[in-house]
Amino acid sequence: MICTDWRDALPEEVARLYAQERARWIADLAWDPAELFETVEQGRIAGHVAGWIACDRERVTGWTFYILHDNVLQIGALVGERPSVIRRLLDAVLASPEAVVARSLSCFVYPNGRGTVSALERQRFSLRESLYLTRDIVPTADPAPPNARVRGWTSGDFAGAVRVLSAAYHGVPGAECFAADHSREQWARYTWQILRTPGCGRFDASLSRVVCAPGSETPGAVALVTWIAPTAAHVAQIAVAPELRRQGIGRVLMESVVDGCARAGATTLTLMVDGANAPAIGLYERLGFARRAGMLYGQRAARSRVAA
């Protein structure tokens, strides 16, 4: 088995890889990553999205891509038809020039088998599972009774949303997947990515919701909603500032989101939640969500010893 730099591959060769993975996401997650892969392909052609393609006797058996950002090597896909392929791809990533200068490595991937977990554990990644939950929605033209606490998203809510996310995730294990060093600048970049890039779907301001503290116009809780397929909406983020917790705001936000998505013609609503966050999982289950799949977040420092 050999791994070749995917930046040397022909566009039609890589297009086949995207098409296969896109079909898996649509079937398993009701998520169409076509826009995401278009952005990745632009980066691959430009040369700043690195990756490897694994081949066995000239037959493609797996692939991966990754970027180096703020000295963190971030793996965005890790696909292989068997565990040995995943291990070989990870070896190639860790031997890459980007890994040499990185201070840490992370991944957020949709695994295609148990081999992904074992390969990452072999390379000393600390792993957390994010549950991918879905619920069905019945489209309707009839709005729910308005809730005075909830309003729609405006362009002026950006700074407030950054503050809410930074405060809500302070000290939360696994939040490094959003902001590696928990800095306000990183939370701003992460929020901007939700609003302006297709990584979490296509942002829809009309479906996103804000709750403000009494007497304030500044967001104290936010729900950022995207489209991941023509009839599937996704709650990319929902967060409540610590000072507004235990007031039922999370439920109020979600109920307003569900109503808005139903009126917009969505038939499916999805979200991700840390597998260890029992209170949040309980809330979503009471709102009709059920587990559909699992995403995998991994993190490790650079230059740690690799298992034999």
Question: What is the chain's pLDDT, residue by residue, as a tens digit (308 residues)?
Answer: 899 999 999 999 999 999 999 999 999 999 999 999 999 999 999 999 999 999 998 899 999 999 998 899 999 999 999 999 999 999 999 999 999 999 999 999 999 877 899 999 999 999 999 999 999 999 877 766 667 689 999 999 999 999 999 999 988 877 777 877 788 899 999 999 999 999 999 999 999 999 998 888 899 999 999 999 999 999 999 999 999 988 899 999 999 999 999 999 999 999 999 999 999 999 999 999 999 999 999 999 987 544 43
pLDDT mean across residues, the chain = 92
Task: Specify the pLDDT at position 176.
Answer: 78
Q: Give the CATH superfamily of 2-131+297-301.
A: Gcn5-related N-acetyltransferase (GNAT) (3.40.630.30)
How is the chain split into domains, by residue range?
Answer: 2-131+297-301, 138-266
**Alpha helices in 130-248, H assignment, sequence order:** 158-168, 184-196
Which of 184-211 are b and which e, b meaning 16 or more Cβ less than 10 Å from the residue's Cβ? eebbbebbeebbeebbbbebbeebbbbb
End-to-end alpha carbon distance in the chain: 18
Q: What is the pTM of this model?
A: 0.92
Is there a shared CATH topology between the 2-131+297-301 domain and the 138-266 domain? yes
The CATH number of 138-266 is which of 3.65.10.10, 3.40.630.30, 2.40.10.340, 3.30.559.10? 3.40.630.30
